[in-house]
Each structure stands twice: as structure tokens, then as C-alpha cells.
Structure 1
Amino acid sequence: MNIDAQHVAQGGHIIPFLSLNGKRALITSGTRGAGAATVALFRELGAQVLTTARTQPADFPDSLFVAADLASPQGCAALAAAVRERMGDVDIIVHMLGGSAAPAGGFEALSDEVWGGELDLNLMPAVRLDRELVPGMVSRGKGVVIHVTSIQRQLPLPEATTAYAAAKAALSTYSKCLSKQVSPQGVRVVRVSPGWIETEASLHLAARLAAEHGGDVEDGKRMIMQSLGGIPIGRPSKPEEVASLIAFLASDRAGTITGTEYVIDGGTVPTV
């Protein structure tokens, strides 16, 4: 009997290989890039999803969205309250939020304010939201927390990503500590570490670099890959590929995976 790759046979019936049916999921920063791809895939797999950003895109449904600035304690508290109001409890938290506004120029260019901003964006939202929502998972004896880190924690670019990389490294260490504390109570904590993802923003960067050097977008993409030391697979990850890894790790298929990190970078990190 031929069985579609998306399904497996069980008890004489064909069931989906991967399902999030009935799961309640909070996915931060889910309106663009890999975050939006993760929201779309979770919904396709049957999850009830709530996401957030500072502003709501015009075409984004109200039922899926809470406006919040997660770089502030007040924004995190407001989002946690909205989760409880709309979903009661949450089964899955995916911390997609991250980014950098730090100037280039190495460590000397990074003021206390820049350092604080990088930590407030890349570390503290996960800390604050977990503190609000993970105790409910512990009390029910089940749940999944996924922290999206970055290969920059292992492969920082000193001229451009020192503060961002350090903040993501802190997130990774925090995630490991959390997993050791709550995994015995049935709550899995996993890290996903992407390399370069081909998002709309990254393509704009490639186009800008290309324009500065008299090339096209493909030339700009090659420049970005070269700045990372090369990507052996020859291309960046697609947002949908990152979403697929996150969905698997959030699902019951990954029921004994906790406390570890999954890198999705096309082979960029050159070490074991």
C-alpha cells in the first residue's frame, strides 16, 4: 500500500504524520519572515495560534494578534494577560523575537544603551514570558517551550554582531537552565539556532549590498554568504524550512527531545 509521505498507518487507519491539533500556541514576532511561516504552519497543523508584534499588519486577522512591545516588562505582561484571556492556558511557546539595531564598529561602538537594547530584545522577552506562562505548564505536567537563538552565539561577527551574539548566547544558556528545572515536571525546552534565513528583510540587504558594489541580488546574496565564511549547502534557509523544524520539535513526535539545540544553517558553523 502506498502511503503519502505526510501520513502513517496506525491501527488500520491513515493519520497525519505531524499534527498540532488542539494545541494552543503563542508565537512571538509572527507577522514576518520565519515567524509568519511558523504561524501559518502551526495553523495548518491544527493549532490555535496567537502572535504578536508592535504593530498589526493591515491584512492580519484580529483573532490571531495582540499588539505589544515585548522589549518592555509592560508589553510582556500585557501579552501574558491576553494569552490567558483568549486561550486560557498555553501548550506551546515559540520565542521567535530577535534582531539587532546595534551600530557597526566593534565593541567600542556599543554604549550601555545599545547593550541594554540588545538584551531587552533578544533575552528578556523570553525570560519574562516564561516566568508568566511556564508555571501553568508545570502545574499541568506538560508543555513545550522553544527558544529561537542564532548561530551568531557561536559565530559572532565582531564588527557587527557582538551585542546581538552575546544576547543570543545568554538566551541559549538560560534555555538550558530552564530545561533542567522544568523537564522533570513534563515541560520540554528546546532551542532552534538558525543561520541566515532568506527573508524579505535579508533580500533587501542583499539588494542594497549589490547596488553598492554594482551587482545584482544574487551577487548581494553571495556577499552575505561570504561574510559568514560560506554556506556549504550553497543557499540560505527558507522561512518555511525553519518553521518545519520548529513544528516537529513542538509536536508529540519529539516527545523526549528537551534541553538541546537544533542548528539549521546549511552547514555554516564550521566546527562540531
Structure 2
Amino acid sequence: MDNLVERQVALVTGGTKGIGKAIADNLSKAGMQVVVTARTAPKENTNGQYFISADLATPEGAERVAKEILGKYGRIDIIINNAGANLSPGGGFSALSDEHWNNDWQLNFMSAVRINKALLPTMIEQKSGVIINISTGAAKQPLWEMTMSYSSAKAALNVYSKALANEVGSKGIRVNVVSPGVVKTPLMLEFVENIAKSSSITPDEAFKALIDKVGVPMGRMAEPEEIANLVAFLVSSEAKYITGTNYSVDGGALPII
């Protein structure tokens, strides 16, 4: 973090909870001007981050965020596309309606596409910028009974990120992907509790079943800060020759090299 330039402007979508909050707080502590987005404002803002209320699953939400950032700061240096969630029910293909598929793709894929499209022209003009798209290990190791539409949307995000990195690399802009595994966030804990209720087991038993299903050699969830630390490195000057890469942070879960 010592090599991050103070007063850079960083956007963290979905930045009020879980992984997004950990990333935003990390960048704030480094001295950056951090903008966070979510549909609802956080209960407290202890790091002086600028909040924009927006639904990034809509074109209007992305346009409003970009317009407000450029109007206030006149520049954008870092984009962390973290907004995302597994919105659909489990149960495989037969449980998923067109609406489920559309909702997952709008939030987990199109939100990043729209934000990048709106802000990239400014980065290109500056001849510098870093984009980190937060994906998921489930994009490479999908669980059909839990994450089919979500995993598909994030897999598309991975391919898009590689293509974008190739397109804008010569313009001074780096694009990378961070793919967390099972992370201890409010959404994940709610997910575990729902598994417990539907299966008539305890939350501890549901957690163990999930870890066993995913196959996490380290035997625990990641802390949000462990994801944020990698993101902090990737946006720093220490990583200035790294682009077009997808980093797994999953406790060894992905069963391939």
C-alpha cells in the first residue's frame, strides 16, 4: 500500500458491506478519495468515503454514478467492480425462470460492463487507470444446484475482462480479475443459514456441508480483508506489469493448477 498514490480517485461498487467494504476501507486508509455505491446508504461512514445511491443493475444507475464522479472529481483512477450477488434459487435449470437469469446477468455482468464503458474514456484520456472485476471461484467450479445463473454471469465477466485488458493495455490501463471462494460476508452467512433451515440442520452443520461440497483444503471461509489485501496490491504500482489475469483467493478450492 505504500506505493499507492495519495488522492487518487477510486470507485468501489457494492462498497458498503462484505468484500466491497473491506476494499473501500483499505483504499481509504492508503489516502485515496474513495467513492462507494450501493442501493442503500450505510449506517455509518467512518472513513469519509463519498456515497452514491444507485442500482447498478440498471443503465440509469451506472450513468448516474459516472456522471456524479466526473462532476465532483474530474477524474477516475481505479474502478473496483464488486457489486454482485447470487440472486436466484437453487435447484438447477428447472428452478430458474427467465427473470432469474436476467436479474443475475444484469447485476453480476452488465453492471461492470456499463460502469467501465461510462468511465473508460476518462481513463484513456488520462492514459492511466486500473480496473479490478470481482468474480467468483464458482465461475470455474459451478455448483449446479446452487449457482447456475450466477456462475454463468461471472464466467462471462472473466472472458470480458481478458478481452478488455487486451484492448486497453496499450492505452495505459490495466484490467484484472479477483475470484474469491467462500468468504465470510453477510450474504454468505445468510446463505448458510438458509441452507440450514431448508435442510433442518444447524448452521454449523450447513457450513461444514458447504465447505465439503466446495472442497476447501484450508477448511474455513476467507475473511473479507484477505480479498481486499490482494486488490490493494493489484491497484498499486508494484503490480504495474500485471494485466489480463484472474487471481483465485479460495483456500485452495479450485482443483486445477
Does the 8 Å contact 2:216/2:251 carry over to 1? yes
In structure 2, C-alpha distance between the alignment counterparts of 1:161 and 1:214, rounded to whole Å:
21
Report the counterpart of residue 91 of structure 2 in structure 1: 105
* Aligned match for 2:21, one of 28, 36, 44: 36
Normalising by structure 1, we get a TM-score of 0.89
Cα offset, 1:57, TM superposition: 2.1
Cα offset, 1:124, TM superposition: 0.5
Matched, 1:264 2:219: no
Local SS of the residue matching 2:145:
coil
In structure 2, C-alpha distance between the alignment counterparts of 1:267 and 1:168, rounded to whole Å:
19
Matched, 1:252 2:199: no
Local SS of the residue matching 2:176:
strand
Name structure 1 gaps, 5 residues minimum: 1-15
Does the 8 Å contact 1:198/1:239 carry over to 2? yes
Does the 8 Å contact 1:35/1:96 carry over to 2? yes
Cα distance per residue 1:90-127 (max 9 Å; x no partner): 00000001112212221122222211111100011111
Cα offset, 1:146, TM superposition: 0.5
Distance 1:73 1:208, change over 3 A: closer
In structure 2, C-alpha distance between the alignment counterparts of 1:103 and 1:147, rounded to whole Å:
24
Does the 8 Å contact 2:141/2:254 carry over to 1? yes
Aligned-residue RMSD, C-alpha: 1.7
Cα offset, 1:208, TM superposition: 4.7
Distance 1:105 1:199, change over 3 A: same
In structure 1, C-alpha distance between the alignment counterparts of 2:74 and 2:249, rounded to whole Å:
33
Cα distance per residue 1:149-193 (max 9 Å; x no partner): 111111111112111111001011111110000001110000001
Matched, 1:56 2:41: yes
Name structure 2 gaps, 5 residues minimum: none
Cα offset, 1:221, TM superposition: 2.1
In structure 1, C-alpha distance between the alignment counterparts of 2:108 and 2:201, rounded to whole Å:
34
Does the 8 Å contact 1:18/1:45 carry over to 2? no
Distance 1:195 1:57, change over 3 A: same
Cα offset, 1:23, TM superposition: 1.4
Answer with 1 or 2: which has the greater Rg. 1
Matched, 1:157 2:157: no
In structure 1, C-alpha distance between the alignment counterparts of 2:201 and 2:139, rounded to whole Å:
32
Matched, 1:19 2:10: no
Report the counterpart of residue 80 of structure 2 in structure 1: 94
In structure 2, C-alpha distance between the alignment counterparts of 1:67 and 1:249, rounded to whole Å:
26
Cα offset, 1:22, TM superposition: 2.1
Cα offset, 1:206, TM superposition: 3.2
In structure 1, C-alpha distance between the alignment counterparts of 2:20 and 2:5, rounded to whole Å:
17
Report the counterpart of residue 64 of structure 2 in structure 1: 78
Does the 8 Å contact 1:20/1:42 carry over to 2? no
Report the counterpart of residue 119 of structure 1 in structure 2: 105
Residue 86 of structure 1 aligns with an amino acid whose one-letter code is: K
In structure 2, C-alpha distance between the alignment counterparts of 1:251 and 1:243, rounded to whole Å:
12
In structure 1, C-alpha distance between the alignment counterparts of 2:190 and 2:91, rounded to whole Å:
22
1:159-238 to 2 correspondence within 5 Å?
A: 159-210=145-196, 212-215=199-202, 217-228=203-214, 230-238=215-223
* Aligned match for 2:226, one of 216, 241, 251: 241
- Aligned residue pairs total 255
User: Greater CA deviation, 58-67 or 93-102?
Assistant: 58-67
Residue 145 of structure 1 aligns with an amino acid whose one-letter code is: I
* Percent sequence identity over aligned pairs: 39
Residue 182 of structure 2 aligns with an amino acid whose one-letter code is: W
Normalising by structure 2, we get a TM-score of 0.94
